Amino acid sequence: MIVAERKPLEQISSMIESNNKILIVGCGECVTVCSAGRKKEVEILASALNMVRSKEGKPVEIRQETLERQCDGEYLEQLRGFIGEYEVVISMACGAGVQFMAEKYKNSLVLPALNTKFIGVTEEQGVWSERCHACGDCKLHLTGGVCPIARCSKSLLNGPCGGSANGKCEISPDLVCGWQLIIERLSDLGQLEKYEEIIPINNWSTNRDGGPRKVVREDLRL
Amino acid sequence: MKSESKLEQILTKGEFAVTSECGPPRGADAEVIRKKGELLKGFVDGVNVTDNQTSVVRMSSISSCVILKGLGLNPIMQMVTRDRNRIAIQSDILGAAALGINNILCLTGDHQKFGDHASAKNVFDMDSIQLVQTVKLMRDEGKFLGGEELKGSPKMFIGAAENPFADPFEIRVPRLAKKVAAGVDFIQTQCIYNLPKFEKWMKLVRDRGLHERVHILGGVTPFKSVGMANYMKKSVPGMDVPDELIERMKAAPKEKKAEEGINICIETIQRLREIEGIHGVHVMAIEWEEMVSEIVKRAGLFPRPHIEG
Amino acid sequence: MRLNYPSNVKIIKVPCTGKVDVIHLLQAFERGADGVYIAGCLEGDCHFLRGNLRARKRVEYTKRLLDEIGIGGERLQMYNMSAAQGPRFAEVAREMTERIMTLGPNPIRAKKGEAEMETG
């Protein structure tokens, strides 16, 4: 899933300083799973902003909505009837949702309430961590199912670097060295000989470096 | 000869090589690097010039190398993959070669989190092993990574670093094998304090015959004080300092702590010379360049062999 | 046992403090409460195993949120006590009331009061 985290309240409230009619929109997909932009977080943000503004003596009118998801036009359509009544829309979706809403409603000012962090997993309840950089050319078959690009702090394809100590990364004692994980995994799978194959210099053109990306499936198009 | 490097000639002749290190200043004053260079001149066969080490911005390695070259030293340009993509890396290699630099040490580089610009974007377009491949491709095949031919190959002697003490130990020798396969000519190791562990590593290196395919220079760093020894043990990732060395430093009288540090360093060099497959030492006297000449003399490595050109 | 405790404390009963969510606490302040405290069972004695422990974590989270809002996390507190600790209940009610008296009214209510005075 895409993992996100709410922005500091002060940043959000300063974005809407001069507005009095606000629509807050949550998203029922990834940010619901990572508890950043569910219906519940929409309620909490609305209540918090209400209090901030009441405290300043500038009460604000807030409407709350939570869509199935914000990265699909058909769900965004559900706002069509009333979005125009609000001076601003605060989206509690990932960066994709915020932008797509802005694309669909050209006359509305759409603001982000979340910082979109990464593609990751739920390690345990309340703990999420990164697994994928969306590099566009998966290499997990070469590295025992552990991604060197996402899990190594330097994205080394032939690691570990000299900073790996006691299985931890040089940048933090709390961070496991990605290459330690790769080696353990290759060893468990009886594939340690794979470690000695040099992975050639990467083609980053499938990554963001190649420009904004797009996937087209002609067979599915209408 | 693969390169025009004096270090290559010394190692090829079977001489025991000595290299040292020089950190460029945090400013534009060339005099700082000249002073450090003068302290090393005549005592070493090559001088590593660090590339924004620990991610702290300093004068560029290339320009510092040129300054040292002007003094008659043989600079080894360190290059990290942290700050440049393949376009800049290849361009800088060509530029360095054109300026008469003929040694390169290929490194990944410390994460920028350690430095004075922790909010920087890192590059890591390639890793150190791929950098070795890149230089070799340019030198031996006269080609860019993109496949085009280049006009005038950079005749560089290719080095890399290796840390026999880093984790996990079981891949330390396979990792060296990867660097050898990539085409590295010489290796400088991390500072050696735990000799038994280092000897164990070298035995594994010899078992695979790697010592015949690459020149290994053992890294040494003298302790200046007990504090430094403790710091190296506890705070430098991948450093292995046995307790008995700390005890030796503690036991030395206050005014002789530095001397004891030098003694330990010289004893380590003597033992390294006995190990089959060790072709030299890399003396890293961190901000203590004035001690290198004494260490070289007392270790019986002076005068250095004279190489024409 | 007929113990006195300050009459300004309004009790809201819940089956378990584990049922109390962040939004409930926020809404209490939003509607003008000057302080809120949660009286949960003693730690280790939860009938639902971890209800009171979860309540404590939510209280900690909400305290930070109240700091961000500018109301002040110190207006919210978690206490643990058993059903048999009547005197403790009364003591906590007095302790929390004193704390809130020192802090003064909820700034939102104060501001609303001002507005009413002006318009009235």
Judge contact between B284 and B268, C-beta under 8 A: no
State how far residue C83 is from chain A, nearest Cα, in angstroms: 31
pLDDT band at B235 (very low <50, low <70, confident <90, very high): confident
Q: How far apart are CA B249 and CA B260, in angstroms?
A: 6
Domain contains C12: no
The complex scores an ipTM of: 0.93
Contacts of A148 in chain B (CB under 8 A): none
pLDDT band at C116 (very low <50, low <70, confident <90, very high): low
Contact between chains at B113 and A160 (C-beta distance less than 8 A): no
- A204: alpha, beta or left, given left = phi > 0 and alpha = psi -120 to 50? alpha
Rounded (10°) CA dihedral A133, A134, A136, A141: 70
Sign of CA dihedral B174, B179, B180, B185: negative
Name B19's Cβ contacts closer than 8 Å, sequence gap at least 6.
B7, B44, B45, B46, B47, B48, B76, B188, B217, B280, B281, B282, B283
Which subunits sit against A, judged by 3+ Cβ pairs under 8 A?
A: B, C
Number of domains, chain B: 1
pLDDT tens string C47-74: 999 999 999 999 999 999 999 999 999 9
Domain contains C60: yes
Q: Suggest the residue from C20, C26, C109, C116 to mutate for an interface test with chain A (most A CBs closer than 10 A).
A: C26
Q: How far apart are CA A155 and CA A178, in angstroms?
A: 9
pLDDT band at C1 (very low <50, low <70, confident <90, very high): low
pLDDT tens string A58-98: 999 999 999 999 999 999 999 999 999 999 999 999 999 99
State how far residue A114 is from chain B, nearest Cα, in angstroms: 20
Is the pLDDT reported for residue C119 higher than 60? no
Contact between chains at C114 and A57 (C-beta distance less than 8 A): yes
C-alpha radius of gyration, chain A, whole number: 22
Domain contains B74: yes
Contacts of A56 in chain C (CB under 8 A): 111
Q: Does C45 touch chain A (CB under 8 A)?
A: no
Element (H, E) at A120: strand A114-124
Is the pLDDT reported for residue A133 higher than 90? yes
Domain contains B304: no
Whole-number pLDDT of residue C109: 82
For A165, the closest of B129, B134, B238 (CB atoms) is B238
pLDDT tens string A147-162: 999 999 999 999 999 8
Judge contact between C50 and C13, C-beta under 8 A: no
pLDDT tens string B258-280: 999 999 999 999 999 999 999 99
Beta-carbon pairs below 8 A across chains A and C: 45
Domain contains C70: yes
Contact between chains at C69 and A56 (C-beta distance less than 8 A): no
Q: How far apart are CA A130 and CA A150, in angstroms?
A: 7
Give the SS3 label for residue B33: helix
Domain contains C2: no
Contact between chains at C29 and A51 (C-beta distance less than 8 A): yes
For B171, the closest of A156, A195, A201 (CB atoms) is A195
Judge contact between A96 and A26, C-beta under 8 A: no
Q: How far apart are CA A51 and CA B184, in angstroms?
A: 65
Judge contact between C76 and C17, C-beta under 8 A: no
DSSP string, A4-66: EEEPPHHHHHHHTTT-SEEEEEEESSHHHHTTSSSHHHHHHHHHHHHHHHHHTT---EEEEEE
pLDDT band at B166 (very low <50, low <70, confident <90, very high): confident
Q: How far apart are CA A96 and CA A82, in angstroms?
A: 22
State how far residue B103 is from chain A, nearest Cα, in angstroms: 21
Whole-number pLDDT of residue A219: 96
pLDDT band at C30 (very low <50, low <70, confident <90, very high): very high
Is the pLDDT reported for residue B177 higher than 50? yes
Range of the domain at C110: 17-119
Q: C touches B (3+ CB pairs < 8 Å)? A: no
Say which CATH number the domain at B137 has: 3.20.20.220
Number of domains, chain C: 1
Is the pLDDT reported for residue A37 higher than 90? yes
B277: its two tokens: 């497959």
Q: Which residue(s) pair with A111 in the sheet?
A: A90
pLDDT tens string B48-77: 999 999 999 999 999 999 999 999 999 999
Three-class DSSP labels, chain C = CCCCCCCCCCCCCCCCHHHCCHHHHHHHHHCCCCCEEEEECCCCCCCCCCHHHHHHHHHHHHHHHHHHHCCCHHHEEEEECCCCCHHHHHHHHHHHHHHHHHHCCCHHHHHHHHHHHHHC
Amino acid at position B89, single letter: I
Amino acid at position A102, single letter: A
pLDDT band at A164 (very low <50, low <70, confident <90, very high): confident
Whole-number pLDDT of residue B309: 55
Strands B75-80 and B215-220: unpaired
Amino acid at position B260, single letter: E
B28: its two tokens: 């534009």
Domain contains B140: yes
**Exposed/middle/buried for residue B274 (C-beta within 10 Å: 0-12, 13-18, 19+):** exposed
Domain residue limits, chain A? 2-118, 136-210
Amino acid at position A79, single letter: L
Domain contains C42: yes
Q: How far apart are CA B26 and CA B2, in angstroms?
A: 34
pLDDT band at C120 (very low <50, low <70, confident <90, very high): very low
Range of the domain at B51: 6-298
Task: Find the residue in A nearest to C31 (Cα).
Answer: A51
Tell me the C-alpha to C-alpha distance, in Å, between residue C79 and each of B277, C2, C43, C86, C87. 69, 21, 10, 13, 14
Q: Suggest the residue from B54, B106, B113, B129 to mutate for an interface test with chain A (most A CBs closer than 10 A).
A: B129
B247: its two tokens: 């005890």
Element (H, E) at B191: strand B186-191
Domain contains B32: yes
Contact between chains at C23 and A48 (C-beta distance less than 8 A): no
B212: its two tokens: 């015949």
Of 3.40.50.2300, 3.20.20.100, 3.40.309.10, 3.30.930.10, which CATH number belongs to A2-118?
3.40.50.2300
**Integer distance in angstroms from the first to the last C-alpha of chain C?**
45
pLDDT band at C118 (very low <50, low <70, confident <90, very high): low
